[in-house]
Amino acid sequence: MSSFTAKADTATFKERTDAALADRILKVAVERTAGTAETKRGIAVAAFPDFDAARDRAAAIKDHVVAHLGHYLEMFEANAVAAGAKVHWASTADEACKIVIDLCKAANAKSVARSKSMLGEEIGLPHALAEAGIGRVETDLAEHIIQLADERPSHIIWPAMHKTREQVSALFKAKHRSPHEEETIAAMAESARRQLRGEMLGADVGISGANFLIAYTGAICTVTNEGNAELSLVPPRVHIVTAGIEKIVPSMPHAVHMLRMLARSATGAALTQYTTFYTGPKRPGDRDGPEEMHIVLVDNGRTKMREEGLAEMLRCIRCGACMNHCVVFRQIGGHAYGGTYPGPMGSVLTPVFDGLPQSRDLAHACTLNGKCQEVCPVRIPLPTLLKGWREKSWREGLEPTSMRVGLGVWAWVASRPALYRFGTGIAVRAMRLLGRKGWIDRLPLAGGWTQYRDMPRPAAQTFMAQYNKERRK
Amino acid sequence: MSARDAILSRLKSTAPGPIEAEAAALLTAPERPAVDESALEAEFLARLALPSVNASHDVIAAMADLPAAIARYLEGQGEHLTLYLPPDPRLATCDWTGFTLHESAAPDEAATLAIARKGIAETGSLVFETSPQAPMLPNFLTLHHIVLLAVKDIAPYLEDAPLPGVQPRAHYWVTGVSGTTDIEGSYVRGAHGPRFLHVILLRD
Amino acid sequence: MTRNVALFVTCLVDVMRPRIGFAAIRALEAAGCDVVVPQGQTCCGQPALNSGDRDHAAALAKQTIEALEPYEAIVVPSGSCAGTIRCHYPEIFEHDAAWLPRAQAVAGKTWEVMAYLDQVCGWKPEGVTVDAKATYHDSCSGLRELGIKAQPRRLLKNIDGLTFAPLQGEETCCGFGGTFCVKYPAISNAIVGEKADAIDATGADLLLAGDLGCLMNMAGKLNRKGSKVRAFHAIELIAGMGDGPAIGEEA
């Protein structure tokens, strides 16, 4: 990945999480947005007839597409081309960025309007545009805040979730031409509206992602609540779409089912405010729309995921429910994860993009409580996939020596029941020596436990010792 | 090898079988919100009034009543009778006396009229397509998005929204106003585009 | 009809709180079971499995399967360990033709103790009195892997004098997560800190749950913050042993 993420990547996971845990403002900000999302999703799901069956169907639709991905991509390409779009293919993030930059240069673009896309973040497009000297207008309000602050998104639905209103206010006052005067969120949003309206309408190129690619028609679908996608993509002369190859659905009714799941899982709404299907560039006689439409289909590790046991992750529709419901995310926020995608889905994806040696902590920093899988609209077995990374990390010798030796000795003893009884007997006696009044407040080898909580003092004898003694009576 | 070939060579189908039939089978009896198909107008209006959609509405009996309904709305909002009208021949029959009509939408257009091809009762969505008679941008630039919808065009489900056959440049669903929760999760209307959505139902 | 059941004690109960094992035996016997404690058992292997150490996990799983397969049913006073045997043993031996059927057979007859008493035995406690207000935490593995939710509540309802205070976020993880709590102690602490606050806010006298790991985590945090809430495994109350020492109290 590019230096766009370098700021966060220089710190270790522990340093990042310690900093996040010490930031009480962050905690409040995350809790406010994720907590609201959790509540609203709960209400929406309860009101939906048979959401569990709908999740089965959503998973089945995505599995069907992933199984026949080549077939559908070719069909999508043929239909998009027939509608007048140009389709480009990129194996890597760098290839994808190069295609976009070359298209912008060919269009003689001085500025591009960008509608938030996680794929764009994943491939480092903001950085690539900056390096090419092309001005970038982030039109999603949260991405606009992130751009002004020169930060990275901390959530896939609410990228500026970590910012408080006071921080946003200071930022707008420093950077907007005619900033708000009244200290309300509505006034701040109005300030951004004034600032962005002209910049959007003046862009030479509009860049978006795609929530869905419709194979049967060659359409790309974007969803927003702000309407910024439409304002970014209709006025410019060129519309460039960057989309992961897994975004395919066969037909419009399949997209309808996925949209029902997406909005409810993300925000608890029945549907996003603006849902648009773009098929090719403007038609003869049309009053608006771009003259050129380019669609860049990006692999960036997805074919490999399909081959190497992560096919289920390709079901992901980027709703963010897993992170909103994750006890770890709720404590540390998105930046501590260090990748483009935070939370449980990010912990599965980041090793694909950044490599396991750089990101092995992510798979371990999870209690395996299963809540993410319970809320996932496409039933991705996230805990199982995280355990898969743990196994790979163990096989490849990435786990710390202390862990490998400790677990090895423990397992060796535990495989010998008689020796194990002897060992547990000693352990119980040793632990009892450390305790007072039923509790142990400092325990060697378990400092992580007793640093924050007490350990109950064990009984005088193990269950097995007591049980066998009584039985012999 | 091109990126296209490199990608496609690794994506051979992993399951046999008639792909199209399998895809069709995945659409049998979809789970979706219940809609009373005998009361589509009431169902649609109920969804339109939800906080997430937050639209107002009015009802007219004939096309000729449209200008008066729009005037009523704009006056109620304290706005001038200034309006962007799309070049749709159905609107030319109305008497627009008293209005200042715009043929192209200004970047800060106050009010825009659009004709929805369909309304969807399931979600309170309004369905549009682009065409020479129906530009798209004015519907996003405007502060007041005023939409004419014939009651007979209300359909129950989102599956009823798409057009069959060749697709227009853009097919889009509007289900509320331009809103954002990006600052502290607090809901603000009129983030970039319309702050108000007003639906005029035509019961002709 | 007498049911011959094997008790899989779990390593944590064996070492840290034997009375949970004895409570399980007592309740099972009251429900008409003949309980044996197979001597070949140690740990189900979950710590190795969750650390990615598949080989040691498989070795311990084989040992456990050998120890448990002769019995009609296997009962475990932990949703987490029962979940490992029921859900994950068959996964471990997915590609092992010799062990897969044995793993599946043991998985199919392994039960969390309260689920077994309630669903299989149709038993409920009689003549047990505990005058206290309790709150219940649903431990994650039991809840999501085994569907344990109503069973403990049905059993506890039959205890005279026991009242309940609902726990805000009763299905939210307590931050234990096995080795997670010692690998990432600061994150775990932040999670269990919120859990302890929620428990305190109920005004309950007792915290009940079905997994000793989670209970030690929550009780340890409650004690550190000076809370007076006392923690028990629910089976202790159900077996009529709620008058004994709570977790962290001397006998």
Q: Domain boundaries in chain A?
A: 3-302, 410-471
Nearest CB to C140: which of A21, A370, A468? A370
Nearest CB to C247: which of A374, A392, A456? A456
B and A in touch (3+ CB pairs within 8 angstroms): yes
ipTM: 0.97
Q: What does the alpha-carbon distance between residue C202 and residue C228 come to, in Å, rounded to a whole number?
A: 12
Predicted confidence at residue C1, as pLDDT, reads: 67
Chain B residues touching residue A310 (CB < 8 angstroms): none
Nearest CB to A91: which of B7, B27, B52? B7
How many Cα neighbours within 13 Å face the side chain of B103?
1
Touching subunits of A (3+ CB pairs, under 8 Å) are B, C
Q: Which residue of A has its CA nearest to B173?
A: A275
Q: For C15-39, how does the pLDDT look when each residue is reduced to its tens digit (9 = 90+)?
A: 999 999 999 999 999 999 999 999 9
Q: What does the alpha-carbon distance between residue A319 and residue A317 come to, in Å, rounded to a whole number?
A: 6
Predicted confidence at residue C251, as pLDDT, reads: 77
Q: What does the alpha-carbon distance between residue C32 and residue C4 come to, in Å, rounded to a whole number?
A: 9
**Residue B55 has which token pair?**
């639209």
Q: What does the alpha-carbon distance between residue B113 and residue B202 come to, in Å, rounded to a whole number?
A: 14
Give the burial string for A310-343 (b: 16+ CB within 10 Å, else e): bbbbbbbbbbbbbbbbbbbbbbbbbbbbbbbbbb
Touching subunits of B (3+ CB pairs, under 8 Å) are A
Interface test with A, best of B102, B125, B183 (most A CBs within 10 A): B183
Q: Which residue of A has its CA nearest to C20?
A: A463
The CA distance from B20 to the nearest CA of chain A, in Å, is 9
**Residue A418 has which token pair?**
């008689």
CB contact set of A31 (below 8 Å; sequence gap of 6+): A330
Contact: A327, C191; criterion CB under 8 Å: yes
Predicted confidence at residue A109, as pLDDT, reads: 97
Chain A residues touching residue C216 (CB < 8 angstroms): 455-456
Q: For A150-180, how does the pLDDT look when each residue is reduced to its tens digit (9 = 90+)?
A: 999 999 999 999 998 999 999 999 999 999 9
Dihedral angle, C-alpha A383, C146, A332, A441, nearest 10 °: -120
In order, the DSSP letters of A305-338 are HHHTT-GGGGG-----HHHHT-HHHHHHTTGGG-
The answer to whether the beta carbons of residues A48 and B122 sit under 8 Å apart is no
Q: Which residues pair with A224 in a beta bridge?
A: A274
Q: What is the DSSP letter of B152?
A: G
Question: How far is the CA of B57 from the CAs of A347, B7, B202, C100, in angstroms?
Answer: 46, 50, 11, 64
Burial of A80 (0-12, 13-18, 19+ CB in 10 A): buried
Strands laid side by side in the C230-233 sheet: C160-164, C129-136, C206-209, C230-233
The CA distance from C137 to the nearest CA of chain A, in Å, is 13
Contact: B10, A285; criterion CB under 8 Å: no
Q: Which residue of C has its CA nearest to A393?
A: C52
Predicted confidence at residue A2, as pLDDT, reads: 36
Q: What does the alpha-carbon distance between residue A245 and residue A258 come to, in Å, rounded to a whole number?
A: 16
Beta pairing class for A219-224 and A274-278: antiparallel
Q: Where are the beta strands (DSSP E) in chain B?
A: 56-60, 82-84, 100-102, 111-115, 118-120, 125-129, 144-150, 154-155, 170-174, 179-180, 188-189, 196-202
Nearest CB to A456: which of C63, C190, C216? C216
The CA distance from C239 to the nearest CA of chain A, in Å, is 17
Q: Which residue of B has its CA nearest to A142?
A: B182
pTM of the model: 0.96
In order, the DSSP letters of B40-52 are HHHHHHHHHTSTT
Q: For C201-247, how does the pLDDT look when each residue is reduced to its tens digit (9 = 90+)?
A: 999 999 999 999 999 999 999 999 999 999 999 999 999 999 999 99
Q: Where are the beta strands (DSSP E) in B132-195?
A: 144-150, 154-155, 170-174, 179-180, 188-189
Burial of A183 (0-12, 13-18, 19+ CB in 10 A): exposed
Q: Which residue of B has its CA nearest to A259?
A: B158
CB contact set of A53 (below 8 Å; sequence gap of 6+): B31
Q: What's the mean pLDDT in C166-192? A: 97
Nearest CB to A303: which of B4, B11, B131? B11
Confidence of residue C85 (pLDDT cuts 50, 70, 90): very high
The answer to whether the beta carbons of residues A221 and B183 sit under 8 Å apart is no
Q: Where are the beta strands (DSSP E) in B69-195?
A: 82-84, 100-102, 111-115, 118-120, 125-129, 144-150, 154-155, 170-174, 179-180, 188-189
Confidence of residue A7 (pLDDT cuts 50, 70, 90): very low
Q: Which residue of A has its CA nearest to C224?
A: A453
Nearest CB to B7: which of A200, A271, A299? A299
Chain A residues touching residue B116 (CB < 8 angstroms): none
**Residue A199 has which token pair?**
């910049």
Q: What's the mean pLDDT in A293-321? A: 98
Beta pairing class for B125-129 and B118-120: antiparallel
Beta pairing class for A274-278 and B170-174: antiparallel
Q: What's the mean pLDDT in C143-172? A: 98
Chain C residues touching residue A368 (CB < 8 angstroms): 50, 140-141, 177-178, 180
Predicted confidence at residue C56, as pLDDT, reads: 97
Nearest CB to A269: which of B52, B158, B170? B52
The CA distance from B47 to the nearest CA of chain A, in Å, is 10
Contact: A271, B14; criterion CB under 8 Å: no
Specify the long-range contacts of residues B89-94, CB closer than 8 Å, at least 24 apart: B89/B133, B90/B63, B90/B115, B91/B66, B91/B115, B93/B63, B93/B64, B94/B63, B94/B64, B94/B66, B94/B67
The CA distance from B16 to the nearest CA of chain A, in Å, is 9
The answer to whether the beta carbons of residues C234 and C208 sit under 8 Å apart is yes
CATH class of A3-302: alpha beta
Contact: A366, C177; criterion CB under 8 Å: yes
Contact: A70, B173; criterion CB under 8 Å: no
| Per-position pLDDT tens, chain B of length 204 | 899 999 999 998 777 779 999 999 999 999 999 999 999 999 999 999 999 999 999 999 999 999 999 999 999 999 999 999 999 999 999 999 999 999 999 999 999 999 999 999 999 999 999 999 999 999 999 999 999 999 999 999 999 999 998 899 999 999 999 999 999 888 999 999 999 999 999 997
**Residue A97 has which token pair?**
């960025």
- From chain A residues 17-76, the ones with a CB under 8 A of any chain C CB are 17-18, 21
Q: How many residues does chain C have?
A: 251
Give the A:B interface size as CB pairs under 8 Å: 256
C129 φ, ψ (degrees, to nearest 5): -125, 130
Chain centre to alpha carbon of residue B139: 9
Tokens 């331009």, located at residue: B178
Q: For A83-102, how does the pLDDT look when each residue is reduced to its tens digit (9 = 90+)?
A: 999 999 999 999 999 999 99
Q: What does the alpha-carbon distance between residue A422 and residue A414 come to, in Å, rounded to a whole number?
A: 11
Q: What does the alpha-carbon distance between residue B143 and residue B172 come to, in Å, rounded to a whole number?
A: 18
Q: For A331-383, how does the pLDDT look when each residue is reduced to its tens digit (9 = 90+)?
A: 999 999 999 999 999 999 999 999 999 999 999 999 999 999 999 999 999 99
Predicted confidence at residue A471, as pLDDT, reads: 83
The CA distance from A282 to the nearest CA of chain B, in Å, is 6
Helix axis angle, A382-395 to A356-364, nearest 10°: 130
Predicted confidence at residue B185, as pLDDT, reads: 85
The answer to whether the beta carbons of residues A322 and A382 sit under 8 Å apart is yes
**Predicted confidence (pLDDT) at residue A4 exceeds the cutoff of 80:** no
- From chain B residues 82-141, the ones with a CB under 8 A of any chain A CB are 87, 107-108, 122-123, 125, 130-132, 135-137, 140-141
Chain C residues touching residue A332 (CB < 8 angstroms): 187
Nearest CB to A272: which of B4, B107, B175? B175
CA terminus-to-terminus distance, chain A:
68
In order, the DSSP letters of A13-82 are HHHHHHHHHH-HHHHHHHHHHHHHHHHHHHHHHHHSTTHHHHHHHHHHHHHHHHHTHHHHHHHHHHHHHH
Contact: A417, C144; criterion CB under 8 Å: no
